[in-house]
Chain A
Amino acid sequence: MKTPRPWLAAALAVLALALAAGPAAAQKKLSFLTWNISDQKDLFDLWIAEFRKLRPDVEVEWLDKKGPEWPAFYQTQVVAGTPPDIINTQGGLWLEYAAAGGLADLTPYLKKDADVRARFNADYLANWTYDGKNYMLPFYVNKTLLFYNKTMFKEAGLAGPPKSFDELVQYAQKMSKGDKSGFLTMNFDWLYWPLFKMNGVELLTPDLKKAAFNTPQAVKVVEALAKATQGGGINKIAWTGRWVEPNGAFAAGNVGMLHAHSPAFFFVRGQAPWINPDTLGAVNAPGGWATPNSHGLGISKGSKNPDIAWEFLKMVTSDKWTLEFSNRRKVLTGNVKSDTATIAAMRKDDPLAAQVLQTQLEQTDKLTGNWRIAVDSRVKEAFYPELQNALLGRKTAKEALDEAERKVNRALARQ
């Protein structure tokens, strides 16, 4: 029988090609999950394209979930054994995962790539250390500051922003008249803690095992805050509002001071046509104390390609890309070079925003409200409702702090 040689040759050729192309065509997959940043789709497309050039054998999948649903999605994926390789978390959520062994330890990577470590503001980077290990890199950073309504200050005859807690309370009382109040603060994620820290109140003992806030000094602070709240100096929304209400109230121009982190500035400005460098001031809170509320990037413990994930992280935190990100979103990324450049460029077009962002880089050695405990959210649950009770006059300061101490110690004991 005559073998159909042309066909055979063709078949063999195809087979050879297939075998040759086989291993090289094997695609590795890298997935990364971001927190509520879906408006930056274009930026992520650029990242993915660039990474493709660096690693053509890796396919990158981008997922984004809104805040309340993020933990539901992530934890379901973890239980199912398919966690996204890279995750972006906000605030203190990373602690739960790190403490339970859900995040990869980045310390060896940072040791190997010391130049990467050198990129970042050391204080912001230290925000994500637990038990002596680094677990995340900064994605975008911010901390609390004090905004003040210069017009209201002038009306009340006040020369400048308060330099101490007593002045703060005093000024707040002075500016409260009718519809107007003197002071507002954010109350989630420990953002109000600088008010306590500036009075020397510590939440926990240095070993983070017991409550340390039930002191006479703390009682005095709570009483002062409660009195100011009852008297209208501090707007009640400070303790009952979430995000929209306090910022909205400040934007309406009826509140003298707002204690919030930098994103509040952009939200408020969007609703307040009266804001300009002559009417709004931005400084660090008295004592320079601030609570950070940053977004970090980490690698899941269950990731199948941690080394590739690290390469991706190196890329996105590079000077080039952090600068690009800051341009698009007016945030600071913790990358020192980029941040300095960003603020310098901003001074021309948007001096007020530059001023706000400048505070974010000042006094970063005075960060508070960010204890590295695994049960952070439970301690928060245990402390804040009691504090709220005292500030809104439902309990005396001593009662509330006693109860809070009991609850916090109980939460800590369960670690």
Chain B
Amino acid sequence: MKRPPAWPIHAALCVVSFFMLLPFYWVLKTSLTGENIFAYPPSLLPVAPHPFFYVDVWYYIPFVRYFLNSVIVSAMVVAANVILNAMAAYALTRGFRGRKLVILLLLSCMMIPFQTTLIPAYLLTGKLGILNTYLGLALPMFSTIVCIFVFKASFDAVPRSLVDAARIDGLAEWRIIWKIMLPLSTSAVATNVILSFIWSWNNFLWPLVVTRDPLLQTLPLGLARFLSYHENTTGALYAFCILVLAPGILLFLLAQKEFIRGLTSGATKG
């Protein structure tokens, strides 16, 4: 098979990368120099960079506490998502009466913006008695519809013959999911993990409303401390943003190999 030449691909990707990185570069630069972004003309290179804004972040807010809270909540959310979403997606690959209805229902549920559910969600969480708790923080995000469909798309690609053979062998359904579907869908698992982590990690409005105890606050809530008063966007604000960003990127880097072509596509051959 004729391989396409590499250099046009590199060129295109370089252009794309430039535009994608440009704003990010500015966030990073300002976090290291703390320069006034309203000065004109903007300076392209960092002037006198220093890491002390990152230190500031540690002082302005109880960073370790918030970080730990975010880790606990996100861990719960990621674990729950992989389990619940895989189960739900597997169910949707089977034929049963009402399947189309459930799919439409799920698609419709996606169209409910969180801002409109704030008050009833709060009241329900109160009724469940889990306000101001880790579970209360994590529960609304235990399953996400987008991720169910990511799994479903992957599971649909597994040949029915494989599944049927396993059932003939007497394998219980949950073992089928665990031993057959998931190993063949590592890319979907990675996507689930990354997305549910990011959404949980960056979630701002729900933790704002559901936690009263300052020791239970998650990392994004610390943002208010840097945006307070006069909208002075200082180096500390940008340092904070980079610190919040870091774990998501780290997770993505760790999951890189799941996106490598060829790891899973061969195995689906009958």
List chain A positions with a Cβ less than 8 A from chain B. Answer: 31, 36-39, 61, 63-66, 69, 72-73, 75-76, 79-80, 243-244, 248, 251-252, 263, 266-267, 270-271
Contact = CB atoms under 8 A, between A and B. Distances in A.
B38 A271 contact: yes
A38 B228 contact: yes
A80 B212 contact: no
Across chains A and B, which 6 residue pairs bring their CB atoms closest together, nearest first?
A66-B224, A267-B230, A38-B228, A76-B122, A38-B225, A248-B38
Contact of A61 (B212, B224, B230): B212
B232 A79 contact: no
Given A39-B229, A69-B224, 15 more contacts: A37-B228, A38-B228, A39-B225, A65-B208, A65-B224, A66-B223, A66-B224, A72-B118, A72-B209, A251-B38, A252-B40, A266-B230, A267-B230, A270-B230, A271-B36
Contacts of B205: 69, 72
Contact of A66 (B38, B212, B228): B228
A36 B212 contact: no
Interface residues of B, number: 22
Contact of B228 (A39, A73, A80, A244): A39
Nearest to B227: A66
A266 B230 CA distance: 9
B208 A36 contact: no
B228 A76 contact: no
A80 B123 CA distance: 6
Given A248-B38, A266-B230, A271-B36, A36 B119 contact: no
Secondary structure call for the B interface: helix
Interface in B29-57: 36, 38-40
Secondary structure call for the A interface: helix
Contact of B126 (A72, A80, A266): A80
Nearest to A243: B231
A76 B119 contact: yes
A79 B228 contact: no
A61 B216 CA distance: 14
Given A63-B212, A69-B205, A76-B122, A36 B38 contact: no
Nearest to A244: B231
Contacts of B38: 244, 248, 251, 271
Contacts of A75: 119
8 contacts: A37-B228, A38-B228, A39-B225, A66-B224, A69-B224, A75-B119, A243-B231, A271-B36
Given A76-B119, A80-B126, A37 B229 contact: yes
Contacts of B223: 66
User: Which of B225, B227, B228 has the most chain A CB atoms closer than 10 A to its own CB?
Assistant: B228
A267 B227 CA distance: 13
Interface string B196-224: 00000000010011001000000000011
A76 B118 contact: yes
Contacts of B208: 65, 69, 72-73
A244 B36 CA distance: 13
A166 to B, nearest CB: 33
A73 B231 contact: no
B228 A36 contact: yes
A332 to B, nearest CB: 16
Contact of B224 (A64, A80, A248, A266): A64
Nearest to A247: B230
Nearest to B125: A80
A267 B231 CA distance: 9
A184 to B, nearest CB: 15
B228 to A, nearest CB: 5
A270 B232 contact: yes
A244 to B, nearest CB: 6
Contacts of A76: 118-119, 122, 209
Contacts of A266: 230
